[in-house]
Structure 1
Amino acid sequence: MAKTRHHMRSITGSTQINTYSPYGNNRNGEFPSSNSDPSAANVNVSFGKNEKKNLTPYEKLLYDLQYDTHFKAEEKAGRLIGFYRLYKDIGLGNFSRVKLGVHLLAKEEVAIKILDKTKLDNKTQRLLLREITSMENLYHPNIIRLYEVIETPNAIHIVTEYAPGGDLYTHITSEGKIPEDEAKHIFAQITAAVDHMHSKNIIHRDIKSENVFFVKEHLIKIGDFGFSTYSEKNQPLTTFCGSPPYAAPELYRDENYIGIYVDIWAMGITLFFMVTGLMPFRAENMGKLKKSIIDGHYSIPGSVSYQCQELINGLLNHEITERWSIKQIRSCSWLTHQNFPKEFNPFSMNINNYYTSSNVTKISTSIPTKSSIEYETYLRLQKLGITSEYLQVMNKNSDDKNFSNFDMINGTYRILLHRLQKQSNVLERDDMYAEKFNEDFPSLQNHMITSYRRTGERKSKQNLNQSQTHNAKVCIIL
């Protein structure tokens, strides 16, 4: 993969900034072989005397990454990568770990999955590419969002949305089964997320309580797409993926399977665990667990309502043609009156697809309603110092003519765009951030943010509590 270097000069005329994007847009199914570190080592900034005080936040960060001794020490110690400062571990896998990070420009908490390149064989690299591709193509409020991918000589860093409330498995094992009224709300969100995946022909293949994360007490997101794959409707798959207790019987007895039915079975196991605190199929070893799942014998406690039992039985039907569809789940009596969150508008995840010089001129004079969030994002980038001049020059000089997952500016754009999308969703909205944003951009307060808020409030009047205090736990299987 060719290296892409962007050259630009600040509007002061005396600050030369060279930023490096090590990937471009990789579509060949392989990871690039570049050993370049995309952080301070590839940023060159020169100044005239006393000019640093006139820098924008973006320019100042580039300067600090290159010259500040504290930043250099953090980078050497592995506490700094790209535009992110790394903090505590929040998850651990066989070949990876997950750390809490903060984007130094956007001031956004993120989860950073770090994979040791020396331990990635060809199969694991393929899975990793699928994970990145799947997440890039999903845009739903109940699915963890991908922001950026960064490679160093020794590691690959996948930067995603952070869910601070912990995972569903930890919640149930520590607090006990979930009351049905609360379980309905959570399961409706799981259903909406899986519906969105399947509409994009993406099969998760590892749906389980460990991969359902709480952002707030009443808001969950599905994550960990390490076993996901693209599959046309009714296309047979052959690779056994996922966690054995959640695996559908056809995975154990057949040579191939249909992906959507495997996901739906796993949803049934997850629901059973939610409302009972138990697993429907339990055994002391893998052989007995396999036999138990193939035999299909399980018992639902009498404390579970008839309507919920009916849904569980529909999801755990051994005959895939009779296993309930997403449409049947949505219309079942147990989920009557539940809200199934809709997907976000499919805004471009690559900033230069929208902000060419002609588009910038156009939206500056007349803001299209459908692009108001993108326009707000652009204003936020400008405030940070990532101006249209930078974007135009980068677009002109880029080898692949397209910012990608592997670009620090595009990562900043995605974080800011997603933050504003969340503000338009009553389940996710952070009123404290809305107030801060309105202070920064008072001219847009009534035109944009307020209109989204009113729209969201018309859709739902639910009272949302504060975030849970559980520590986040991320399950990685590689």
Structure 2
Amino acid sequence: MPEKARQRSTQVYQHYLYTVTDSSECSSEKEEDEEPSKRLTPLEKLTLEMCKDENTVKELTVGKRVGFYKVRGQIGCGNFSKVKLATHALTKDKVAVKIMDKMRLDVQTQRMLTREISNMESLYHPNLLQLFEVLETPSRLYLILEFAGGGDLHTRISSGGKLTDLESKIVFAQILSAVKYMHENNIIHRDLKAENVLYTTNGCIKVADFGFSTKVNNRNQALDTFCGSPPYAAPELFKDDSYIGPPVDVWAMGVLLFFMVTGSLPFRADTVPKLRQSVLEGAYVLPIWVSAPCQRLIRGILKPEPSERCALDQMLGCEWLLPVELFRPIPPLYQLNPIHLLEAGPGELDRDQEEVKGILEKLGVTPEHILNNQGKRIRSPINGVYRILLHRVKRNRGAESVPSISGVVKDPKRDSLRAYRNLRHSSKLCALS
């Protein structure tokens, strides 16, 4: 770094990135040199390093750092991106960084990426992979994502074989909960497959990769883009006609369930045309070891006619999932914006929010930082710090705990609920509404 820039430490420190301090807090350069560690908060130290420290500046230049994140090795790749593991330099939390070369993105891919970011930002569910922050340089775009850490469902089954009936219930129930939440918010995933179902280190399931997702005005809106992986594609996608979004996700869930309980896909072929024919014919064989309730659920999902497939509420009330205690409170979306920490009155913040507020204060994040970053939403480093901390606190409090399995006991209340769901969603006209 040029010597002239080194001599402007106070000015750079004052104005870099967040205006981390004001002139009243600055003293002489001599005092700064004597006792910098006693006067600087962790946030101030980090921003000063990013501006003045030669090693940190070099890491930022060569891509070993992106914003507040120290980038490590690659953990995945896609057609237009690669995914690397990273650590937040301030909070020390691990994250996944999806990196895209902007020069390689055509207009359609850019549009899909914009949709992916918008859809992920509008969803907040314990079984959906969370987007913490978006960073952009002239040549690259970075999506800072929750790091699941437990591998994906496809790898687990390919290496270890089919899941047990109990394991399948736990995994499928979480996928069902996530997809139901998405559909209630008018978002269709359109690329549900085992590779996009991730495990956390404690066994929680995360539905990931929203690259083909789309938001509809209503769930009966017609779509016309072929999306997803052919082995998971519904029959209507192979007919080169418009289709309704929710039944496409439902079909893919049926293929996923078949894969979980058998270790193989229901429709297989050497070529896409042969696979297309197999899917359109709807011919598949369920092994005899699959339990009868699970077989009934799969057959209820993998129906060629979209309107005849099980509705999501019907799945929740089916016999096979009856022992799964799935119902958990879903945090409100407003919690993703730290401004509510400032607007809440005495006693209005819950325990999680109070803990996050205390951590932010220790790190040196002030109300001014939060106010100055309003309007930036997912592109704010301060909001990124907040979302990462909120996720950590909620995870430590059990928000991502695996659903429990109760004994198969006759429960009149749950039987009544199941009967109600079946009655409510048995009509073809309301199955997708």
**Range into which the TM-score falls when normalised by the shorter chain:** 0.7 to 0.9
| Match among 203, 210, 216 for residue 195 of structure 2 | 210
Among 132, 138, 143, the alignment partner of 2:128 is 143
Counterpart position of 2:318: 332
Match for residue 369 of structure 2 among 370, 390, 394: 390
Equivalent residues of 2:339, 2:370 under 8 A apart: no
Higher mean Cα deviation, 186-195 or 49-58? 49-58
Mapped pair 1:316 → 2:302 = yes
Structure-2 residue corresponding to 1:33: none
Q: Give the alignment of 1:9-408 within 5 angstroms.
A: 9-10=21-22, 13-14=25-26, 48-53=32-37, 54-216=39-201, 218-231=203-216, 232-348=218-334, 351=337, 353-356=339-342, 359=343, 363=345, 366-368=346-348, 371-392=350-371, 394=372, 401-408=374-381
Question: What is the one-letter code of the residue matched to 2:228?
Answer: G
> Which has the bigger relative contact order, CA under 8 A and spacing at least 6?
1
Deviation of 1:164 after TM superposition, in Å, equals 0.5
378-387 vs 211-220, greater mean Cα deviation:
211-220
Q: CA deviation at 1:375?
A: 2.8
Cα distance in 2 between the residues matched to 1:86 and 1:132: 21
**Partner in structure 2 of residue 24 of structure 1:** none
CA distance in structure 2 between the aligned counterparts of 1:67 and 1:402, rounded to whole angstroms: 28
Aligned partner of 2:3 in structure 1 is: none
Superposition deviation, residue 9 in structure 1: 2.4
Distance 1:82 1:343, change over 3 A: farther
Q: Percent identity?
A: 44
Q: Say if 2:324 and 2:404, in contact at 8 Å, map to a contact too.
A: no
Deviation at 1:50, TM superposition (A): 2.3
Report the alpha carbon displacement of residue 341 of structure 1 after superposing the two structures with TM: 4.6
CA RMSD across the alignment:
2.4
Deviation readout 1:63-106 (Å, 9 max, x if unpaired): 11111122122222211000000111010112210000111111
For the residues of structure 2 that align with 1:217 and 1:131, how far apart are their CA atoms? 27
Please list the CA deviations of residues 162-219 of structure 1 after superposition, one character each: whole Å capped at 9, or x if unmatched.
Answer: 0111000000000001111111111111100111111111100000000000103531
The residue type paired with residue 110 of structure 2 is: Q
1:343 Cα deviation from its structure 2 partner: 5.0
Instruction: Note if contact 2:262-2:290 (Cα within 8 Å) is conserved in structure 1.
Output: yes
Contact 2:188 2:215 in 1 (8 A): yes
CA distance 1:103–1:46, shift in 2 (3 Å) = farther
Contact 2:151 2:199 in 1 (8 A): yes
Q: Does the 8 Å CA contact 2:377/2:383 hold for their aligned counterparts?
A: yes
For residues 420-448 of structure 1, give each alpha carbon's deviation from its aligned partner in whole angstroms, at most 9, with x where no partner exists.
2223335449xxxxxxxxxxxxxxxxxxx
Q: Conserved in 2, the CA contact under 8 Å of 1:367 and 1:375? A: no
Change (3 A) 1:303 1:77: same
Aligned to 2:394: 421
Residue in structure 2 matched with residue 30 of structure 1 by the alignment: none
| CA deviation map 1:243-299 (0-9, x unaligned) | 000000000114111100000000000000011111100001011001110111111
Secondary structure, in 3 states, of the residue corresponding to 1:297?
coil
Contact between 2:131 and 2:145, CA under 8 Å: does it hold in 1? yes
Q: 1:219 to 1:351 in 2, by over 3 A?
A: closer
Deviations 1:432-470, CA, capped at 9 Å, x for gaps: xxxxxxxxxxxxxxxxxxxxxxxxxxx9699xxxxxxxx
Change (3 A) 1:141 1:321: same
Contact (CA 8 Å) 1:116, 1:154: kept in 2 or not? yes
Distance 1:181 1:15, change over 3 A: farther
Equivalent AA in structure 2 for residue 368 of structure 1:
E
Distance 1:306 1:72, change over 3 A: same
8 Å contact 1:237–1:259 — kept in the other structure?
Answer: yes
Equivalence for 2:428: none
Structure number with greater Rg is: 2
On the 8 A contact 2:86/2:97 being kept in 1, the answer is yes
Q: 1:391 to 1:217 in 2, by over 3 A?
A: closer
TM-score, structure 1 as length reference: 0.77
Q: 1:417: how far off? A: 1.2
SS of residue matched to 2:178: helix
Between the aligned partners of 1:46 and 1:427, the Cα distance in structure 2 is: 49
Change in Cα spacing, 1:15 to 1:209, as seen in structure 2 (3 Å) is farther
Q: CA deviation at 1:51?
A: 4.2
Letter in 2 for 1:373: D
Conserved 8 A contact 2:122-2:333: no
Matching residue of 1:23: none
Deviation for aligned residue 1:321: 1.2
* Contact 1:139-1:343 at 8 Å conserved across structures: no
Segments of 5+ residues of structure 2 without an aligned counterpart are 1-15, 407-433
Q: Distance in 2 between matches of 1:80 and 1:213?
A: 26
Q: Which amino acid aligns with 1:417?
A: L
Equivalent pair of 1:382/1:388 in contact (CA under 8 Å): no
Give, in whole Å, the separation in 2 of the partners of 1:225 and 1:47: 51
Q: Secondary structure at the match of 1:321?
A: helix
Letter aligned with residue 374 of structure 1: Q
CA, structure 1 residues 177+133, in 2 after alignment: closer, same or farther (shift >3 Å)? Answer: same
Runs of at least 5 residues in structure 1 that lack an aligned partner in the other structure? 17-44, 396-400, 430-458, 463-478
Question: For 2:126 and 2:257, how far apart are their aligned partners in 1?
Answer: 20
- Count of aligned positions: 389
CA distance in 1, matches of 2:31, 2:401: 42
